[in-house]
Amino acid sequence: MDLASNKLGWVNREPKDAKVQRLRVYLENNNGMKGLEILAPEEIDRAVKIFYRDGFVVVRDALNSERLDFLQKGCDRVIREMLELDPQRIGNRGSHRYSFGAASKTGHLMHHPEWAMLLDLETVTPILTAIFGSPKYIARGGGGDFCLPGAIEYQSLHSDMGERFGAFMDPRGVLSYRDLPCPYICCNYLMVDFTNINGATRQIPGTQHSLQPIPSFEEEPEWMKLSTVCPAPAGSVLIRDVRAWHGGTPNVSQEVRAIPNAEFFAPWYREPARRCVPREVFDQLSEHGQRVCQYIVTDSAEELEVGVSQDFISPKTDHNKLSEFLL
């Protein structure tokens, strides 16, 4: 993956700053989830059990070397297109931190064949089918995120499914969406090895059903800040229940950490979804791939306006917090 940090990261930030070096040493010595289990694609039953328990599971070799190279090159192309519009690395999730989808005119990247490939992989589809209990789940789209070297802040813990998702409402006020089986899965694909210093995602096990308020960064215990999905090899997939608490970590390495994704709704769950798969891309998909994206494919005569939004940059940083080493 040709994403050299000396060209893309550490803009207006100094990797040799004493505080950054202290943070790097701390992460090298402490960061990483204890007892992280990484499965093979054929361990379907074990994957389902861990997913139901923890709200996420990591599966290695989801992408073979050819597919990994294909997706890496797609990420490289889109990242460079985005960064051309953001020379100061302001980002749209804080400095040096970016959402692919939020920068796209369609809100997704499924118009790229590299992302559309993720709609049906023989290494992942059987696991999703087993988790949902049916192959009739539905694609929402896909995007993902990346952080550059120099993304020295933590991203606060959050859930990707908040009150804005209103498809489920119990008029009795007894149940919430957190009481339900998993309604919505995100599959993040690792373009580089997740390490303890390159901004790997941290996940808090078992929080997909939690009714407790998500702690602020200041309230977060140290073990949560260190509950990072690493080490994990490139080509793996992080399959996660989007209700589970998670957040980004500092990238004080010399490489870009990208995790493109595909997102799926359970067969019984629906939210409004934008049409983001062009008909010509749809026609190249497998039968299963075509079925899962039936609600997000364009009409034959419809043309998508694609590309990076010119105004995607957002200086908001209230979601990102400095480590005590950087204060």
pLDDT digits (tens, 9 = 90+) for 258-283: 999 999 999 999 888 999 999 999 99
Give the global pTM: 0.96
All structural domains of the chain with their residue ranges: 5-160+179-326
User: In this structure, which CATH number among 3.60.15.10, 2.40.50.140, 2.102.10.10, 2.60.120.620 belongs to the domain 5-160+179-326?
Assistant: 2.60.120.620
φ, ψ of residue 280 to 5 degrees: the values are -70, -30
Beta strand extents in 254-301 (DSSP E only): 257-265
In the chain, the amino acid numbered 46 is R
Q: Closest Cα partner for 188 from 102, 253, 124, 256?
A: 124
pLDDT digits (tens, 9 = 90+) for 14-54: 999 999 999 999 999 999 999 999 999 999 999 999 999 99
The residues facing 58 across adjacent strands are 38, 238
| Contact yes or no for 264/120 (Cβ under 8 A) | no
Identify the band that residue 327 occupies on the pLDDT scale cut at 50, 70 and 90: low
Query: Across the chain, how many H-helices and E-strands are there?
Result: 10, 12
DSSP secondary structure letter of residue 325: G
30 to 26, 200, 232, 327: CA distances (angstroms)? 6, 14, 16, 19
The least confident of 17-21, 65-69, 170-174, 177-181 is 170-174
φ, ψ of residue 2 to 5 degrees: the values are -90, 70
